[in-house]
Structure 1
Amino acid sequence: MVHLDLSKTEVGPFSWQYTEKETILYNLGVGCRWNEQRYVFEGHSDFAPLPTLAVIPPYHDVLASVPLQDVLPKYNPAMLLHGEQYLEVKVPLKATGRLLTTARVLEVQDKGKAAVVVLHTTSRCADSGEVVAENEITSFMRGAGGFGKQPPVQRRSAAVARNEPPSRQPDAVIEEKTSEDQAALYRLCGDANPLHIDPEFAEMAGFDKPILHGLCTFGVATKHILKAFAHGEPSALKSVKARFAKHVFPGETLRTEMWQEGASKVIFQTRIVERDMLALTFAAVELRPEATQATSRM
């Protein structure tokens, strides 16, 4: 067995400054409408970003700088698939600010012909040094396996939970039709992969047309859960985890099916209505009980 040294993979910190413009752009990118003034008008008294904005800082130079080629000799970025995302929000994001983000390889697993890599990112407030959010980004890398079994890594339980939906009917369901322009808009938040805008590139990747970002669907679903179980209050989100099971085409309808488990956990899955396929699975949100009593502003 070859032991892969992950200790030297940390990069950063990288600075990301966001203003009212970036906050509004992200909120629009995950489907907020003009009449949801809290999220689209900087003059609103409670103007704020949706909490899943915290997935954006790693896409500003951070992830591209992690030396995966030093860990996986067969690494090819063209063979990477985003498999899962775990986000933990430590403190509510301010409407504007500057975040400093570091990243490192947390875990690698040999799957034979492929590898699974988990990257961990930490974003801190540039002014106070306080940790604002942490992400765990799990990717499936085709053709990168064959290096041997690695020692297990202890990960937080919410990041690896299977979150099987209960057998009963959902406690809440929200449907939202995405815009045909949604991927073109969302990519301006930081993920400029041509898979989401260039028809020729999408065809080479095996798709009929450009697809929606998985993290856009992730943001839409989280917005649905906050609306159904936390009065739409963004500060209620503690964490969210999901597996990307199927691609979504811009213009398709997302149906988030939700089951409340106890006072603070909501298991969910997000279905593509037109094709009756699940886009997000093994998914759950943890809520802050003290924040769910806030008055609805949606």
Structure 2
Amino acid sequence: MTVAHARTAGEWQGADLGTRTASYDERDAILYALAVGAAPDELDLVFEERLRVLPTFALTLAQWAPDALGDQGAFDVRTAVHGSQRLQVLRPLPRAGRLELAARVGEVWDKGSAAVFEVVVESDAFVATWSLFAPGCGGFGGERGPSSPKRPEAQPGLRAEVRTAPNQAALYRLLGDRHHMHIDPDAAQAAGQPRPFLHGLCTLAATTLELARSVGAHPAELVELDGRFSAPVFPGDRLGVTAWPDGRTASFEVTDGGRPVISGGRVRFG
């Protein structure tokens, strides 16, 4: 009898995760803007007649891809966490439409006791890369990968605050990421948290909105975004944003009561 070979983490590198057509309408884009903190008077984000779609909305359309890798058994979905996120915007998203998305496993880094899987989703409008930290999957002899970016030594050029809403996780999950830990107290406790916590991508998008306001850019002009998730954020928390702007580009970090929640952030507006 032949025993099936179980893939090591490194053997997932380059794996095809399939394609999908993502459809959305203006209501979806407006709901997203409200879920990440758009104000009701920002009419070009929340009013269909003036709508400019936030580029980070693309990440909700591609959320199926990292979920697909977990479903295929690459790692234990109960313990893996979202480590970081990158987004490169190639063109503005239309108010409504259909996008053809193709997903694959990019690099797989060996961190010793854990592995980091990169899931890359590509379309003609954006390229998005999830980094997923998977305990227990390391030790396969691969490269460790790049180290975390260092905090700038210069004094920050701006400080801002992001006020999350008590219902923000409940609202954001309607965009597609319905993992129970963001809504169900029992599931959150099983994941090691005292109560349901906010999606990392929601925190990242809310920060991007505030940074756009602070540097005088429109959030729909985002062309590059990168950030590493350090700790959970709970709905209702007030977050501190520290940034080092250089024109329409900025390095940034986000803290919650002095505790880092996003580190190594970088944003660029066109």
Asked if these proteins are the same fold (TM beyond 0.5), I'd say yes
CA contact (8 A) 1:50 1:223 kept: no
Matches of 1:200 and 1:89, distance apart in 2: 37
Deviation at 1:139, TM superposition (A): 0.9
CA contact (8 A) 1:163 1:267 kept: no
Percent identity over paired residues: 32
- AA paired with 2:157? D
Aligned counterpart in structure 1 of residue 237 of structure 2, from 252, 255, 267: 252
Partner of 1:167: 154
Deviation at 1:265, TM superposition (A): 2.3
Deviation at 1:175, TM superposition (A): 1.1
Partner of 1:192: 178
Partner of 1:88: 88
- Deviation readout 1:228-248 (Å, 9 max, x if unpaired): 22432512x110100001110
- AA paired with 1:216? C
Partner of 2:4: none
Deviation at 1:92, TM superposition (A): 1.4
SS in 1 for 2:27: helix
Aligned counterpart in structure 2 of residue 19 of structure 1, from 25, 44, 64: 25
Deviation at 1:120, TM superposition (A): 0.9
Deviation at 1:35, TM superposition (A): 1.6
Matches of 1:206 and 1:161, distance apart in 2: 24
- AA paired with 1:83? G
CA contact (8 A) 1:243 1:280 kept: yes
Aligned counterpart in structure 2 of residue 267 of structure 1, from 251, 257, 269: 251
- AA paired with 2:236? G
User: Is 2:129 the counterpart of 1:142?
Assistant: no
Distance 1:77 1:214, change over 3 A: same
Aligned counterpart in structure 2 of residue 182 of structure 1, from 159, 164, 168: 168
User: Is 2:27 the counterpart of 1:10?
Assistant: no
Deviation at 1:165, TM superposition (A): 2.6
Deviation at 1:173, TM superposition (A): 2.1
Partner of 2:269: 287
CA contact (8 A) 1:66 1:103 kept: no
CA contact (8 A) 1:212 1:248 kept: yes
Distance 1:167 1:203, change over 3 A: same
Give TM-score, length-normalised by structure 2.
Answer: 0.89
Structure 2 unaligned residues grouped into runs of 5+:
1-7
User: Is 2:65 the counterpart of 1:66?
Assistant: no
Matches of 2:139 and 2:229, distance apart in 1: 24
Matches of 2:250 and 2:182, distance apart in 1: 29
User: Is 2:218 the counterpart of 1:232?
Assistant: yes
Give TM-score, length-normalised by structure 1.
Answer: 0.81
Matches of 1:251 and 1:85, distance apart in 2: 23
Distance 1:5 1:20, change over 3 A: closer
CA contact (8 A) 2:101 2:121 kept: yes
- AA paired with 1:267? S
Partner of 1:296: none
CA contact (8 A) 1:178 1:252 kept: yes
Q: CA RMSD in A?
A: 2.1
Distance 1:166 1:198, change over 3 A: same
CA contact (8 A) 1:31 1:178 kept: yes
- Deviation readout 1:252-288 (Å, 9 max, x if unpaired): 0122211113x4421111121xx22121101111222
